[in-house]
Structure 1
Amino acid sequence: MRDETHRPSPEPRCDTHAAPERVPAEAVADAHASSGGSCAGTEQGTGTVARGSETITAGSFRADTFRTDTFRADTCGTDTPAPLAGAGAERCAQERPGQGPCGDGLYAALDLGTNNCRLLIARPTARNFRVVDAFSRIVRLGEGLGASGRLNTHAMDRAVGALEVCAGKIQARGVKRMRIIATEACRAAANGDEFCARVSNRTGLELEVVDRRTEAGLAAAGCAPLVDPTCDGAILFDIGGGSTEVVWLGRRSAGDDGPPRARIRSWASMPVGVVTLAERHGGVKVSHQLFRTMVDEVTQMLDGVRQSWGLRQPGRMHLLGTSGTVTTVAGIHLGLDRYDRTRVDGAWLHAQDICEVVDRLMDMSFEERVSNPCIGAQRADLVLAGCAIMEAVREAFPTDRLRVADRGLREGMLVQLMRADGVWKRHRGPAYTVSEQYS
């Protein structure tokens, strides 16, 4: 097995004269592991691309619309992640830019997705942040949502139980500066508001149900440090439980002494994820024919995205994947006896590496997938649906190299919060920059 995490790819880089880069280890500590794997303001050129019964949300970003995306440290209004109710709310409202947040300099980011509930608590460092506490649990909040249009009782119970653990960690750490989001399951469910009210009553956490545009922007902000600076950019894809975001990133940029900023050229969100695709087609027994059917379904959606972007063969770009599917494929490729985030995050996979792992997964029985240390019982019925989405992305945007990201929305929220508070003081610009070119 090859471990390409800590050394240059054997294949030619996008710029053969540039030195390989190593992402600082402090960016996200190994305290958390992937289990799944905001952009307020005017949206320019947003639209939908219809493919059969599915609708793909897509749009472009304008660089001059993101002043409202940064959160001010001296306000606790609707655009600011709400603190826990009770003591400390007044202190949060009185904080001054550059003075640091409440909770001994700690920030929290919580992402409640269709499949997972994830929390990071972190402290800023000189150029990035260091994770001091983390939590991740598969809750399958979106279980059965595709058929019923509603969150079921058992799924909500699981999610509330996980959120109670998160609330306890946040309170124990004294964190007052945070952002707490929910994604596709709460967006799509007819009883999403009812569930959010229940969460508030039980845990004190106020869920912010974000739109797909915000989700794409947060994923880009979190993964920007992994864009190869020798390339013209990357195609970022984030495979969730209920939706998949695809973002066209230009060359990464800097504006202060913090992490690199993402340069978003365009984005799209498809209403398909590992939970919805596996429930529609099955995930326990997956034949080669069924797998191809899943790939073709997603490929049809991506055809419209690629055409709308007008992106030609991305020869000087690479793929950047953030999801449990991608980290699982990387872990299997590396031959890990147990999942090791420090070896997976930032690893490079080549097309042949991915094909070999997907073939191995297709040949495994369900029981063998359960027993694999990089998959486990909770995701054994979802991993092939995730691979089908990944394969569709690779077919739509054919490049030889894929960089693996065990980071995403939570890291994006942390970077945005810290940057808005001026913890990297040289420049207090928007949370991330956006190219004005939409070619």
Structure 2
Amino acid sequence: MLDQFSPAGADARQQARAARPGQVMAALDLGTNNCRLLIARQNGVGFQVIDAFSRIVRLGEGVSHTGLLAPDAMDRTIDALRICAAKMQRRGVTLARAVATEACRRAVNCATFVERVREEAGIDLDIISSGEEAQLAFSGCMPLLNRDFPYAIVFDIGGGSTELGWLSLKAGVQPRIVAWHSMPLGVVTLTEEFGVEAAPGLDRMEFYEGMVGKVAAQLAPFAQAVGAHRAIAAGQVQILGTSGTVTTLAGIKLGLPRYDRTLVDGSYLTYGEVEKISTQLASQSCAERATVPCVGVDRCDLVVSGCAILTAICRQWPIGRLRVADRGVREGILMSLMTGTAPDGVYRPVYSAASLPVSA
């Protein structure tokens, strides 16, 4: 059992060249549900974000049933990637990496999609393993970890999978990923299995608890392998989560009329708040959820499955309070570009193959 939860970093390959001070870098994270871009300038001690882009593209729509990326999903995603390419060109990006995750790992026609992206958007996609995805997500979140705790559980709820990590922390030393697990359940895959809403005649909360139970069964082997409960009882463990689900619940808790990253990133949710908000959303219809600030039309069909994953995680590890991160894979990519630990073949933008829009 333990070999499924091996330490992250086994895939890491070294690159000698690191970003120079003043160099403009870009990190693109293409997930099952979202396409996200971050452009930053190396400033000697870190990086300064100068541009960003995020769009829900639902690339992995239907993949769990068909094993294929759908034509409409590929078209939507390439449209978003063309905007990303235009932004990188306009900002003068000279060092970048674009990664794709679970939807592309699963899809048998992924190679065709990758070639289309290269030809139509001028971007080379790197399909990364679940282990590298976890490592990038966790490293991007590490600045929010409290070094007063010797241990941390970090998780990233995605569209096609959920990455979980058990980390060891020591003062003055970079946090170490002791074990990680990629759970093959995300907001898209869980919604496609259960549906957006309860079937007629089925209680909405029974429907919701059915999803929570499915996730709990998937979590149990990892929880048993880590064996964190003694450390949790001793108050030695913190928990940090990154995902649209976690940040959405934080925005609702804060009463924001519209999402504001500066208020959400680094904030906290108590487990009681997670249960209360999740139960509220699960008891509503999709149309009712669409009217909730920070949910809206784009997230109303997927947010309940995200709440189910989050609730199962909180129930599995009774820590009591969760720190919220609006950061992850993109920040991890930028950090690897700065330190020269990104893999060989890092994409440098060349736009000759693409017919790019003049603005984005």
TM-score normalised to the size of structure 2? 0.88
Q: Secondary structure at the match of 1:302?
A: helix
Q: Secondary structure at the match of 1:262?
A: strand
For the residues of structure 1 that align with 2:40 and 2:170, how far apart are their CA atoms?
A: 23
Q: Secondary structure at the match of 1:251?
A: strand
Q: Secondary structure at the match of 1:47?
A: helix
C-alpha displacement at 1:339, in angstroms? 0.5
Contact 2:274–2:311 (Cα < 8 Å) also in 1: no
Alignment-mate amino acid for residue 297 of structure 1: K
For the residues of structure 1 that align with 2:85 and 2:158, how far apart are their CA atoms?
A: 23
Choose the corresponding residue for 1:200, options 112, 118, 122. 118
C-alpha displacement at 1:214, in angstroms? 0.2
Deviations 1:301-360 (A, max 9, x none): 111111122333423212101000000110101111111111100001111121221122
Map of 1:47 onto structure 2: 3
Map of 1:427 onto structure 2: none
Contact 1:113–1:185 (Cα < 8 Å) also in 2: yes
Map of 1:264 onto structure 2: 177
Change (3 A) 1:98 1:244: closer
Q: Is residue 415 of structure 1 aligned with residue 335 of structure 2?
A: yes
Choose the corresponding residue for 1:281, options 191, 194, 215. 194
Deviations 1:203-238 (A, max 9, x none): 111100000000000011100011111112211110
Q: Counterparts of 1:358-397 in structure 2 under 5 Å?
A: 358-397=278-317
Q: Secondary structure at the match of 1:360?
A: helix
Alignment-mate amino acid for residue 51 of structure 2: D
Q: Secondary structure at the match of 2:3?
A: strand
For the residues of structure 1 that align with 2:112 and 2:221, how far apart are their CA atoms?
A: 35
For the residues of structure 2 that align with 1:291 and 1:365, how far apart are their CA atoms?
A: 12
Give structure 1 regions of 4+ aligned residues with deviation exceeding 3 angstroms: 45-48, 97-100, 252-255
Map of 1:32 onto structure 2: none
Alignment-mate amino acid for residue 317 of structure 2: F
Map of 1:402 onto structure 2: 322
Contact 1:71–1:416 (Cα < 8 Å) also in 2: no
For the residues of structure 2 that align with 1:176 and 1:209, how far apart are their CA atoms?
A: 21
Map of 1:155 onto structure 2: 73
TM-score normalised to the size of structure 1? 0.73
Structure (1/2) with the larger helix percentage: 2
**Aligned-residue identity in percent:** 46
Map of 2:7 onto structure 1: 60
Choose the corresponding residue for 2:16, options 65, 72, 82. 72
Please provide the CA RMSD for this pair.
Answer: 1.9
Deviations 1:111-164 (A, max 9, x none): 000000000000123533211011000000000111111001000000010001
Contact 1:349–1:401 (Cα < 8 Å) also in 2: yes
Q: Alignment length, in residue pairs? A: 334
Unmatched 5+ residue regions in structure 1? Answer: 1-44, 49-57, 74-96, 256-260, 422-439
For the residues of structure 2 that align with 1:284 and 1:130, how far apart are their CA atoms?
A: 42
Deviations 1:367-410 (A, max 9, x none): 22111220111110000000100111112211111000000000
Deviations 1:20-78 (A, max 9, x none): xxxxxxxxxxxxxxxxxxxxxxxxx9734xxxxxxxxx31248xx68x544321xxxxx
Map of 1:295 onto structure 2: 212
Choose the corresponding residue for 2:249, options 314, 317, 329. 329
Unmatched 5+ residue regions in structure 2? Answer: 342-360
Map of 1:143 onto structure 2: 61
Deviations 1:256-280 (A, max 9, x none): xxxxx43211100011100000011
Contact 1:220–1:262 (Cα < 8 Å) also in 2: no
For the residues of structure 2 that align with 1:319 and 1:265, how far apart are their CA atoms?
A: 15
Q: Secondary structure at the match of 2:299?
A: coil
